[in-house]
Amino acid sequence: MTDETRTDETQIETEATNEADAAKKVVRLSVGQEITGKIKQVTDFGAFVDIGAGRDGLVHISELTVGRVTNVKDIVEEGQNVTVWIKRLNRERNRISLTMISPDTRTIRDLQEGEVVEGVVSRMVPYGAFIDIGVGTDALLHVREMGNNYVEKPEDVVEIDEKLEVRIITLNRRRRHIDVSIKGLREEPDGEDSDSAGAESAQGEDGEGQVVDKFENVEVLSPMELAFKRAMEAGGEEVVLPKSRRRRRRQHSARTEQADIIQRTLNTMRE
């Protein structure tokens, strides 16, 4: 075989008939080449395109657009003129694979985990937000990936049509599933004020920092004392039992221990 007739994987020569003079001409095709053609046949799995090369090329349903396609007829129809690019050439099987996605278009195949890309918030759901990152498949930004602090609702952090940078953390090309995160890509509240306020509220401090024991004056009776008191009150007599020294010491010790724990907690938070 001479150099003039030899072809490689990215180039194929085919003969096309010129209807005007019935003369044969040679059409040279190469991978990546841009061609204008006409949709000749639409099938469930794609569309055949007449590119004037003597054989039709196939645009698979996955190559019609960057997004998911469920019906080929939603994108193209027979007789429609389209611009296509040569994707693959198989001389042994006499096949020409085409794509309607421009080589300059970024798709899910070009993404990598850990990569930071720009996107726009397209819609909200209770558990997060979907981000349009320009590859035909929206990425999910879950609420747990919206910050290091607890996020109750996604609208507390992002809003519809907001532009933001996201980091790709999970990528499944086959299922066209993308998970992203904004942790570390934007400033977020440190949460100190809300944590301090919550701690003060939970620990029951008054305006001067004094610990208030709401149960200081509540009398705690033993089961025997409680039964005796109920029996006497059932007979119409009011019974006031004196606090024992042991009970008073026990209550005082408990209050002192509680105050000590609260004070240590406050000192740790201030540090």
Confirm whether pTM is higher than 0.75. no
Residue type, 92: E
Options 3.40.920.10, 2.40.50.140, 3.20.20.370, 3.30.2350.10; CATH for 108-181 is: 2.40.50.140
What are the domain boundaries of the chain? 11-99, 108-181, 201-270
What is the Cα–Cα distance from 158 to 125, expressed in whole angstroms? 12
User: Which tens digits make up the pLDDT trace of 127-161?
Assistant: 999 999 988 889 999 999 999 989 999 999 999 99
Task: Answer whether 11-99 and 108-181 agree in fold.
Answer: yes
Angle between helices 245-270 and 192-203 (to 10 degrees): 170
3-class SS letters over 2-70 = CCCCCCCCCEEEEEEECCCCCCEEEEEEECCCEEEEEEEEEECCEEEEECCCCCCEEEEHHHCCCCCCC
**Are 130 and 140 spatial neighbours (Cβ–Cβ below 8 Å)?**
yes
For residue 36, which of 25, 52, 54 has the smallest C-alpha distance? 52
pLDDT 10s per residue in the chain (271 long)?
A: 444 444 444 555 555 544 544 455 556 888 899 999 999 999 999 999 999 888 899 999 989 988 778 899 999 999 999 999 999 998 888 899 999 998 888 888 889 999 999 999 999 999 999 999 988 889 999 999 999 989 999 999 999 999 999 999 999 988 889 999 999 898 775 554 444 444 444 444 444 445 455 555 555 566 666 676 677 776 666 655 555 555 566 666 666 666 676 666 666 655 5
pLDDT digits (tens, 9 = 90+) for 226-252: 676 677 776 666 655 555 555 566 666
Q: Give the helix/strand (H/E) hosting 227.
A: helix 223-234
Q: Name the nearest CA neighbour of 178 among 187, 188, 167, 186.
A: 167
**6, 63, 88, 127 from 60: Cα distances, Å:** 28, 5, 12, 35
| Per CATH, domain 11-99 is 2.40.50.140 | yes
